[in-house]
Structures are given as structure tokens and as C-alpha cells.
Chains A and B, each alone.
Chain A
């Protein structure tokens, strides 16, 4: 309101007209503020078709938009985390990673793990990586008519993708992109989660015995407590400061719509994440087994592009970078991007700082 052209011209004692005008604009600002906090923004609008389902999991294929001669043959599968909705990859028209990749001719598929119900409390990473994901990939390969495929995993989706790539190296995975992948928990002081969960008093078994699945609100609160002032105060103060900037408020609204849509996490996967990964670092120690089979990172031979966010407070860079010497890929690159855990892909600079690098790396390595 004071940012308007009128504000600097205000006299020390405002006139009744100024007061009235200010009151009207303040009312409008409050109304916008309330709408942004309570209503949902239109997100995930890129046209797509449901091509496969299993339990709550769904596989979507996005409608291509590039001319036929520019389309690439190798399909790209996007795998997001299991405790958030995957639509952050297709946040809003004009600012969507999915849209960007489609424009560059990629055949894009999205795996949505769905919302686990009480009957899914025993779903573990074994199931996600070696049962659900291979089935979705099998369907994708049939639809695309391609034996090879590319995969992009983000956050816990990157962990699942890594497990799959190490366990099933012969199933056609050509290029693997990992985004902010939590894989190496050697440093227990790196990041709040590692510190909190590695404390002996933190017992995920008791928590899941009580709830079955871990409530989404609890996971969301935990993530926000990593930067409490920014998340509980700063975000809203910044929104108020920019309430009359439509471009900024709509971007904030889309992100807030995604953030508010919290979902529970399967109890078994949560226990495994805390006990096997955070506390015991089994993947890096080479002691992790899925369905009784050992997971050997040296069997991960797909081309690897490992993206870390330099100011990531959820997955600190060291938790992702640690696998570079462990994997068997001959073509591998660690790529650092300025930004946070979500910001590197969904922030306003993503289209400039992250997406082109992912696309170019992939384009150079796929048909």
C-alpha cells in the first residue's frame, strides 16, 4: 500500500480522501491474504492420461506438445517422494517442469504413489522400489514401445529410484537423475532431521505402533520446524509485503496449495527410513537388504546426474554427494544448484538455474 505512487506524496497529516482510499485498499489486501491462505490455486493443469493403477499408485502420461519430428523416443519417468503430492513437478501453467520437458520433446510419465490408507501401513521401501516401481516401469515400456527409459527421482523418490537402479540394473534404465536424494547419513550432525532422528530417545517403532501410518501433519510440522521462523512467520510476512504484486502472490499461492496438501507416510516405510537409513546408514554401509537381497550401489550403472541444493536444510548436500564414489556408473556428474530442497525445482529461478541443465544432460544421452 505504501509502495503505491501515492504513498510518498502523502502529507504528514493525511486527508480524509487518503484515509478512505487506504481503508479500501487495506480491506482488499486482507481479502487477498485470506483467499491465498484458504483457497486452492489451480495447480497440476498440464493435460495427462491415466495409464496404469495399482492400489493407490497411479501412472500418468502427459500429452506431448512438441512437433512429432522433435519428440524423443526414450520415455522419462518422474518419481516423487511418498509423503507429498507429486504435483510440485507440474506446479502451475507457465511454471511447470513437466511443461518444460514436454516443450523439449520428452515423453513424460509421472508416478503418483497416492495417499496410503490404514491398509497400507506395512508398505516398505522394498515394496515401493521392487514391486510398485518395476510394475509401473513395465507398463511404461509397453506403452512407449521402448526397452530403455530415463528416470528422475526427487527427495525420497530419489532414494526409491536409487534402490531400484541398484537392484534392477538390467531392466532398461539408461539415465538416472537424482534431485536432493537423502542417501548418506554418515554425518549425524548434518541437518536437523539427522540430528533429531539419530537421538536414542527418538523411537519410530512406538510412533507407528500408535498411528499405523505417520500423519501428514506431523511430517509437515517436522519439516517446518527445521526453519521455524521462516516457515511460521517469515513466509506470511513476505506475502503481506508483496500482497499487491500479482505475479508473486500467485506463485506463493500455488506453492502454498501444494504445501498444505499433506498426506500420511506408510508406517513401515517411516520406520525403515529412520532405523535403516538415518540411524544405521545401511545403504552406504552396504548392509541394506530389500526382500532379503543385498543392495549394492556398485550395481547402479545407469548414467547418473546427481543434483544437490546448496542451501538444502532437509537433505544437506553431504547426504546426496556421498554416493558418487560408491556407484558403478562410468558417466556420472554431481551438480550443485543454489537454492533449497524444493526451490531448486519449483522456485522462480528454477527455469533458469536447474531445468535447462537437467534437460541438456538428458538430451545429450537419450534418443
Chain B
């Protein structure tokens, strides 16, 4: 909105503040960047996360357990049921992908690196 060459426009208070803002912003930015890259911030960040997760986890677990019980009462699938189903579908999709590759090649496909012990 403002350009440094222009004479200050009394109708543009944001423009009038620009010089002040630019001068402050650079120093503020440097100070904040130094702060977030400090050991103190890293420790505070880790500790905050630890405390937050520690407080939220029991609440979330209790809520989930209640929801699972309620869904079971109503004969509805839970998130875990749907997740397991989705995982099975992905495994089927992988078999189809191998079949598709066989059809493409007209012979056995190269191993797509599906190793024993692979999760999928």
C-alpha cells in the first residue's frame, strides 16, 4: 500500500507507521529467531508438549473408551473396526496391484520389494 518514495499521506495511517514498523520488525524478528533457536526454548517446548500430552491423553482415552462402549451397544462399528477394514482393503489393493503388473508384463512382475515382515 505504501511506497518509501511517496510523501507521507495523512489519510493512510498504516503507511505513516510503515517506517517505524519496518525498523522494529527486523529487530523483533532477529530477537525471536534467536530465542526459538535457543536451548531454553527447546527445553520449554519439550516440557510443554510433555505436560500437554500427559494431561490430554487420559481424557482422550476415557472418551474413546466411552464411545466404543456406546457404539457396541448400538451395534455400530467403532473407529478401530473401520481402520482394520481399511487396512485389509489396502492389502487387497496391493495384491491387485501385483496382478495388474503381471498382466502388464505378460509374465511374473519384478519384485516390488514387499518384504517379509512388511506391515502392508
Contacts and interface: CB of A to CB of B under 8 A. Distances in A.
Interface string B1-17: 11101111111101100
Interface of B: 1-3, 5-12, 14-15, 18, 21, 25, 28-29, 32-33, 36-37, 39, 41-43, 45-47, 49-50, 53-54, 56-57, 60, 79, 82-84, 86-87, 90, 93-94, 97, 101, 104-105, 109-110, 112-120
A18 B7 CA distance: 15
Complex A-B, nearest 6 residue pairs according to Cβ-Cβ distance, in ascending order: A201-B46, A119-B86, A3-B3, A229-B29, A291-B115, A2-B9
A310 interface: no
Nearest to A133: B113
Nearest to A118: B83
Contacts of A14: 10-11
Interface of A: 1-3, 7-8, 10, 12-14, 18-19, 22, 26, 29, 54-55, 117-119, 122-124, 126-127, 130-131, 134-135, 138-139, 142, 167-168, 171, 191-192, 195-196, 198-203, 206-207, 209-210, 225-230, 233-234, 237, 240-244, 291-293
A238 to B, nearest CB: 10
Given A2-B12, A7-B7, A135-B94, 5 more contacts: A3-B2, A10-B10, A119-B90, A138-B101, A229-B25
B101 A124 contact: no
Contacts, number: 170
Nearest to B8: A2
B1 A243 contact: yes
A18 B10 CA distance: 11
